[in-house]
Copies of this chain bind each other. A is one copy, B any other.
Amino acid sequence: MNQDYIQPDNWSIIEEGFDAERVKSSESLFSIGNGAMGQRANFEEHYSGKTFQGSYIAGIYYPDKTKVGWWKNGYPEYFAKVLNAPNWIGIDIEINGENLDLAKCQSVSNFRRELNMKEGIYYRSFNATLANGTEIAVKVQRFLSLDLDEVGVINYEITTLNSDAKIVFKPYVDAGVHNEDANWEEKFWEPISVKHSGNEAFVTARTFKTHFTATTFMQNSILLEGSNLSVAPVSVEETKEKIQFCYQVAVTKGQTTTIQKIGGYTISMNHENTIIGAKNSIATALEIGVKQLTKNQKEAWAKIWEMSDITIDGDVKAQQGIRFNIFQLNQTYLGKDSRLNIGPKGFTGEKYGGSTYWDTEAYCIPFYMATKDQQVARNLLAYRYNQLDKAIENAEKLGFKNGAALYPMVTMNGEECHNEWEITFEEIHRNGAIAFAIYNYYRFTGDYSYIPEKGLEVLIGIARFWHQRSTFSTYRNQYVILGVTGPNEYENNVNNNWYTNYIAKWCIDYTVEQINKIENEYPSDYTRIMNKVKLSQVEISEMKKVADNMYFPYSEEHGVYLQQDGFLDKELITVADLDKSQRPINQKWSWDRILRSPYIKQADTLQGFYFFEDHFTKEQLEKHFDFYEPFTVHESSLSPCVHSIQAAVLGRMEQAYTFYLRTSRLDLDDYNKEVEEGLHITSMAGTWMSIVEGFGGMRVRNNQLHFEPKIPAQWKGYSFKVNFRNAIIKVEVKQEGTNVSIEGNSDVDVFVNGESQLIK
Chain A interface (Cβ < 8 Å from any Cβ of B): 66-70, 72-74, 397-399, 419-422, 425-426, 471-476, 480, 482-483, 492-496, 557, 565-566, 568-572, 586-593, 595-596
Contact = CB atoms under 8 A, between A and B. Distances in A.
A493 B492 contact: yes
B472 A571 contact: yes
Given A67-B69, A69-B68, A592 B471 contact: no
Interface centre among A74, A495, A590 (most CB of B within 10 A): A590
Interface centre among A398, A476, A483, A588 (most CB of B within 10 A): A483
A473 B591 contact: no
Contacts of A570: 471, 473, 482
Contacts of A419: 69-70
Contact of A397 (B398, B474, B587, B590): B590
Contact of A425 (B397, B399, B590): B590
B566 A482 contact: yes
A347 B471 CA distance: 45
A308 B648 CA distance: 76
B72 A569 contact: no
A611 to B, nearest CB: 24
A493 B595 contact: yes
Nearest to A568: B475
Nearest to A183: B69
A595 B471 CA distance: 13
A473 B420 CA distance: 30
Given A482-B596, A493-B492, A569-B482, A587 B73 contact: yes
Contact of A592 (B426, B473, B566, B591): B426
Contacts of A566: 482, 495, 565-566
A590 B475 contact: no
A483 B480 CA distance: 20
A397 B398 CA distance: 34
Contact of A72 (B425, B557, B590): B590
A547 B404 CA distance: 47
Nearest to A481: B596
B420 A590 contact: no
B495 A572 contact: no
Given A66-B69, A69-B68, A474-B572, A590 B495 contact: no
Contacts of A572: 474
Contacts of A496: 569
Nearest to A69: B68
Contacts of A565: 565-566, 569
A493 B474 CA distance: 23
27 contacts: A67-B68, A68-B68, A68-B69, A69-B419, A70-B419, A72-B591, A73-B587, A74-B591, A399-B593, A421-B591, A426-B592, A471-B570, A471-B571, A472-B571, A473-B568, A473-B569, A473-B571, A474-B572, A475-B568, A480-B569, A483-B592, A483-B595, A483-B596, A495-B566, A495-B569, A496-B569, A566-B566
Contacts of A592: 74, 398, 421, 425-426, 483
B73 A589 contact: yes
Contacts of A587: 73
Which 5 interchain pairs have the tightest Cβ spacing?
A: A74-B590, A425-B592, A482-B596, A483-B596, A475-B568
A569 B475 contact: yes
A45 to B, nearest CB: 35
B73 A591 contact: yes
B425 A591 contact: yes
Interface centre among A471, A493, A565 (most CB of B within 10 A): A493
Contacts of A493: 422, 492-494, 595
A542 to B, nearest CB: 15
A73 B592 CA distance: 10
Nearest to A66: B69
A317 B709 CA distance: 83
A594 to B, nearest CB: 8
A69 B471 contact: no
A256 B380 CA distance: 80
A405 to B, nearest CB: 16
Nearest to A570: B482
Interface centre among A397, A398, A569 (most CB of B within 10 A): A569
Nearest to A74: B590
Contact of A73 (B68, B557, B569, B590): B590
Nearest to A353: B69
Contacts of A586: 73
Contacts of A571: 471-473
Given A398-B590, A475-B569, A482-B596, 14 more contacts: A67-B68, A69-B419, A72-B590, A72-B591, A73-B587, A73-B588, A73-B589, A74-B591, A471-B571, A482-B595, A483-B592, A492-B493, A493-B494, A565-B569
A557 B426 CA distance: 30
B476 A569 contact: yes
B420 A69 contact: yes
Contacts of A568: 473-475
Contacts of A557: 475
Contacts of A399: 589-590, 593
A539 B475 CA distance: 40
A485 to B, nearest CB: 10
Nearest to A593: B399
Contacts of A426: 592
A399 B591 CA distance: 11
Contact of A596 (B70, B471, B475, B591): B471
A214 to B, nearest CB: 28
Contacts of A471: 570-571, 596
A586 B475 CA distance: 27
A401 to B, nearest CB: 12
Contacts of A475: 557, 568-569
